[in-house]
């Protein structure tokens, strides 16, 4: 195959938020950069599409307080935002029973409420003991990392409805089953998102605000700035890295550079061939951060009819195939839209059955919102675990033993290769904000090395931000 | 790159014991087969080398009672065997203290002994409740799969020496930390190896017998039969699979076939590009069976001097970098040899420091066997997690949630692709015997389909064994 060859100071692998943020930042510091993106679009795990005339996010979509880095980009690119609709009663189903309340927590009964309050208090108290840049150094790191979230839940939450609620929240936050998660990783992740209330809430929390143009618009704006430095449909297959240089080989294109920033999830980074091979810990890490599983399903309607019935559109369902639902109507709510999440094992059950999935999701919507929900104007969904260049969403997660065993390798550069991606973030890990932060960090690591080299060579480097 | 193209009925990916067994079996049934092996040698996770004039196994080396399938090959190829040396006292270290006894278990003190006896009894009793072909259907599957082996150990084993002993055994059996393992997978694996005593013992157990020519000789004999149907240095990069045919593309060679048998660990199978992509569950599985970590270290001496001091050479060390040691002297014991295993986190700590590793291992040998052990004739080791085409050893393992969540996909054919490898075995999973069994099963699955096709076409298929 004939290859186009490029030369740059820095090669960035992955054109999602992390990679594009990193690329823009090194570019702004006066450094030549090239971005290689496997897909035919930028934005990675954001994906905004027009459905039934409105922009819909089939990937990441919310931003909230404390996420100042992604918010900075939203402001900078003059994107419009609006609040997630959440007025009215939410719905919670467990043990086959529906609870409806403006605060569904109130409907759970006192023993369950107390139980969950204790659990939440412990999650936050334990979280405060975890150094976010080195969770393996927490005083109880070894014990917590040897415990699954399911085991801990059984110890702390005693009622059946409480366990159902707890599991639903875990699945909604992580897209895996509570059995799969290390308690240490779970505590770290929630702490990195500012604590339990902040990470789970709509108002005042991580689900507060939507972007009118769709979340992918951020990546698109970054890519527009970078222009032809971004190469699409260029899945990287091999990285040769020596003492003096890097050679990145993608399908049909190669980049010779001084440094590389790999800005894709560890599970995907592990599928690249490295020469020389990665150190043992780094390779083991790529085998130990499997991606969560989620199908995001959007149905559109002439109007958000549930609002008239006093329903917020929010559902947490411990029984059905759909784990979580939100009102997904566009700003102003002139038309209606619902977004449902199939998460964890349920996602994989339905991943390879598009027709059955649509039927099952709409049946669930009817159970929550009545017969009108069964007859949408349009229906579309996205199976993230079937995406060759994501292999799951929202992100890569640590099962027991991985944080204390191999997570040190997450951000540790290997020779001239640096690592970005939301999985490497120490704040808002797993979120768009974490992706942006990680891109900035990796860019600064590399810019400093390029600056030192250029200074050595008597070249004036651009200002490093 | 110019490619050599071959046409066959069946393409086998992986020239280890599983792949070669499968290939030989379909070949014997009159079916055209090609084997693509990534390395420049066959044998996969067996690797027999001459060190200091004697054959030494740096990979899998033992066979034992109940392993009739690998034993069948040993007999068929007329390989010589001898018993693992184990006469004399074994050594156990925990809490900085050495225990020496012909049965080190006796030296542990009564409370610890009773504790461990209860644990072993439970392991076997629970194991009997697990259907080996569908461990996810065990009555307590969900609970066991949500529990780490470390959590279960803390519940069942109360003394510090007992926990150290337990952990050492887990590491020696699995090459991972007890925190990383699903209790369900642990119980399944031990049951698949005939129970706790059988899987952990030398006499009467899985470490009973060695092969004089080295374990790799089995694969070599299989490969000799297959002749130029085995292609070395042909790492498979891509498998296209349609309704009618398969195309397997390796570096420099491609095979068009009717069926494929992928006989490599799930973690490696996941790094192949499939078109169309794998179903969600299969891909998730490849992200959820990380390889264990082990460095096998062999030191040779003029004579097995520890035998004269009444020591068997067997060591279980809960404190040092070396977890497990055996007398590795050749048949007859005219010269001496010790083999040490660095397992789990200890293996990764030392993986990228060859000089420090040698020093540390020999220091440990001196602690066990005196100063003579520090001055070997030769020293050699093999870091299995640094092997590009193994990425760890002994095998791929399930953390919590994986067996109940995705393990159904282990053996389930995807279109024309079938799966082999010791990880897919229902007896002696993780052992050479499991590899051979898995190869036979996959061969029979494929031969049946080829036979049906040939019958349809009016061709007489060879006899299917």
What confidence category does residue A462 fall into, taking pLDDT thresholds of 50, 70 and 90?
very low
Nearest CA in chain A to B237: A237
Which of A176, A383, A400 lies nearest to residue B179, judging by beta carbons?
A: A400
What confidence category does residue B462 fall into, taking pLDDT thresholds of 50, 70 and 90?
very low
**Residues of chain B with pLDDT > 90: what percent?**
90
Q: Is the pLDDT of residue A277 over 50?
A: yes
Of the options 3.90.660.10, 3.30.1360.200, 2.60.120.10, 3.30.465.10, the CATH number for the domain spanning A48-62+81-87+206-212+291-386: 3.90.660.10
The C-alpha of A397 sits at a distance from chain B's nearest C-alpha, in angstroms, of 11
Question: Where do runs of H (alpha helix) occur along B51-182?
Answer: 68-76, 110-127, 141-145, 149-156, 160-174
**Predicted pLDDT at A36:** 98
What confidence category does residue A458 fall into, taking pLDDT thresholds of 50, 70 and 90?
low
**Chain A residues close to B399, C-beta within 8 Å:** 180, 288, 399-401
Q: Where are the domains of chain A?
A: 4-43+215-290+397-449, 48-62+81-87+206-212+291-386, 105-200
B-interface mutation test, from A170, A180, A354, A415, most B Cβ less than 10 A away: A180
Pairing between β-strand A259-262 and β-strand A417-419 as defined by DSSP bridges: parallel
Nearest CA in chain A to B271: A271
What confidence category does residue A459 fall into, taking pLDDT thresholds of 50, 70 and 90?
low
**Beta carbons of A391 and B283 less than 8 Å apart:** yes
B283-315 pLDDT, tens digit each:
999 999 999 999 999 999 999 999 999 999 999
**Predicted pLDDT at B247:** 98
User: Of A174 and A94, which is predicted with more confidence?
Assistant: A174
Q: Is the pLDDT of residue B465 over 50?
A: no
**Beta carbons of A401 and B351 less than 8 Å apart:** no
The answer to whether B212 and B57 have CB atoms below 8 angstroms apart is no
The answer to whether A49 and A58 have CB atoms below 8 angstroms apart is yes
What is the distance between the alpha carbons of residues B204 and B187, in angstroms, rounded to a whole number?
20
Class of domain B105-200: mainly alpha
Nearest CA in chain A to B146: A179
Average pLDDT, chain B: 95
The C-alpha of A220 sits at a distance from chain B's nearest C-alpha, in angstroms, of 27
- Mean pLDDT is lowest, of A156-165, A191-200, B332-341, B351-360, for A156-165
**Predicted pLDDT at B2:** 52
**Residues of chain A with pLDDT > 70: what percent?**
97
Which of B290, B385, B401 lies nearest to residue A177, judging by beta carbons?
A: B401
Nearest CA in chain A to B270: A271
Nearest CA in chain A to B283: A391
**Beta carbons of A287 and B284 less than 8 Å apart:** no
Q: Is the pLDDT of residue A454 over 90?
A: no
The CATH architecture one would assign to domain A4-43+215-290+397-449 is 3-Layer(bba) Sandwich (3.50)
- The 10 Å CB-count burial string (b at 16+, else e) for A317-336 is bbbbbbbbbbbbbbeeeebb
B-interface mutation test, from A149, A290, A344, most B Cβ less than 10 A away: A290
What confidence category does residue A1 fall into, taking pLDDT thresholds of 50, 70 and 90?
very low
B122-145 pLDDT, tens digit each:
999 999 999 999 999 999 999 999
B357-402 pLDDT, tens digit each:
999 999 999 999 999 999 999 999 999 999 999 999 999 999 999 9
A-interface mutation test, from B39, B145, B146, most A Cβ less than 10 A away: B146
**Beta carbons of B400 and A283 less than 8 Å apart:** no
B388-437 pLDDT, tens digit each:
999 999 999 999 999 999 999 999 999 999 999 999 999 999 999 999 99
A372-416 pLDDT, tens digit each:
999 999 999 999 999 999 999 999 999 999 999 999 999 999 999
**Chain B residues close to A401, C-beta within 8 Å:** 148, 176-177, 179-180, 399
**Chain B residues close to A277, C-beta within 8 Å:** 386, 388
Mean local confidence (pLDDT), A435-441: 98
What confidence category does residue B175 fall into, taking pLDDT thresholds of 50, 70 and 90?
very high
**Beta carbons of A177 and B267 less than 8 Å apart:** no
Write down the pTM of the prediction. 0.96
**Chain B residues close to A280, C-beta within 8 Å:** 293, 347-348, 351-352, 383, 385-386
**Predicted pLDDT at B429:** 98
**Chain B residues close to A386, C-beta within 8 Å:** 277, 280, 283
**Predicted pLDDT at B459:** 53
**Residues of chain B with pLDDT > 70: what percent?**
97
**Beta carbons of B287 and A290 less than 8 Å apart:** yes
Q: Count of CB atoms within 10 A of residue A7's CB? A: 13
**Predicted pLDDT at A108:** 81
Mean local confidence (pLDDT), B154-168: 94
**Beta carbons of A405 and B267 less than 8 Å apart:** no
A and B: number of Cβ contacts within 8 A? 133
Which of B147, B179, B277 lies nearest to residue A388, judging by beta carbons?
A: B277
Taking any CB pair shorter than 8 Å as contact, residues of chain B touching chain A are 142, 145-148, 150-151, 176-180, 267, 270-271, 277, 279-281, 283-284, 287-288, 290-291, 293, 344-345, 347-348, 351-352, 383, 385-386, 388, 391-392, 399-402, 404-406
SS3 of A191-220: the string is HHCCCHHHHHCCCCCCCCEEECCCCHHHHH
């Amino acid at each position: 195959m004939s290859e186009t060859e490029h030369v740059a100071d820095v090669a960035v692998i992955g054109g999602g938020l992390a990679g594009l943020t990193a690329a823009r930042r090194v570019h702004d510091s006066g450094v030549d950069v090239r971005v290689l993106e496997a897909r035919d679009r930028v934005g990675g795990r954001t994906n905004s599409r027009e459905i039934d005339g409105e922009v819909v996010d089939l990937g990441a979509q919310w931003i909230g307080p404390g996420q100042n880095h992604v918010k900075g980009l939203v402001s900078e690119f003059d994107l419009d935002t609006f609040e997630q609709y959440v007025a009215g009663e939410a719905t919670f189903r467990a043990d086959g029973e529906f609870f409806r309340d403006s605060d569904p927590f109130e409907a759970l009964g006192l023993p369950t409420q107390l139980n969950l309050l204790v659990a939440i208090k412990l999650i936050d108290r334990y979280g405060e003991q975890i150094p976010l840049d080195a969770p393996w150094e927490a005083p109880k790191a070894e014990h917590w990392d040897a415990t699954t979230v399911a085991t801990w839940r059984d110890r702390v939450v005693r009622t059946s409805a409480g366990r159902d609620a707890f599991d639903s929240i875990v699945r909604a936050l992580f897209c895996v089953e509570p059995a799969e998660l290390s308690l240490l990783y779970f505590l770290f992740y929630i702490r990195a998102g500012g604590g339990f209330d902040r990470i789970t809430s709509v108002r005042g929390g991580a689900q507060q605000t939507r972007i009118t143009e769709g979340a992918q618009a951020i990546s698109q704006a970054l890519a527009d700035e970078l222009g032809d430095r971004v190469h699409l449909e260029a899945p990287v297959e091999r990285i040769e890295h020596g003492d003096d240089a890097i050679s990145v080989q993608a399908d049909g294109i190669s980049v010779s550079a001084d440094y590389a920033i790999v800005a894709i999830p560890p599970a995907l980074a592990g599928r690249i061939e490295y020469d020389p091979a990665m150190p043992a810990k780094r390779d083991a890490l790529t085998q130990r951060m499997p991606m969560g599983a989620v199908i995001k399903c959007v149905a559109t309607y002439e109007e958000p009819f549930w609002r008239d019935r006093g329903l917020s559109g929010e559902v947490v369902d411990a029984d059905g195939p759909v784990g979580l639902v939100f009102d997904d109507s566009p700003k102003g709510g002139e038309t209606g839209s619902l977004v449902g999440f199939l998460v964890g094992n349920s996602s994989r059950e339905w991943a390879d059955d598009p027709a059955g999935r649509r039927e099952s999701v709409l049946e669930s919507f009817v159970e929550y919102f009545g017969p009108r929900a069964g007859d949408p104007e349009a229906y579309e969904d996205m199976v993230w675990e079937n995406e060759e260049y994501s292999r799951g969403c929202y992100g890569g997660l640590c099962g027991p033993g991985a944080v204390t065993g191999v997570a040190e390798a997450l951000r540790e550069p290997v020779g001239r290769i640096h690592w970005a991606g939301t999985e490497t973030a120490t704040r808002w890990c797993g979120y768009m904000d974490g992706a942006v932060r990680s891109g900035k960090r990796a860019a600064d690591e590399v810019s400093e090395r390029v600056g030192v080299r250029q200074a050595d060579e008597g070249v004036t480097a651009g200002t490093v931000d």
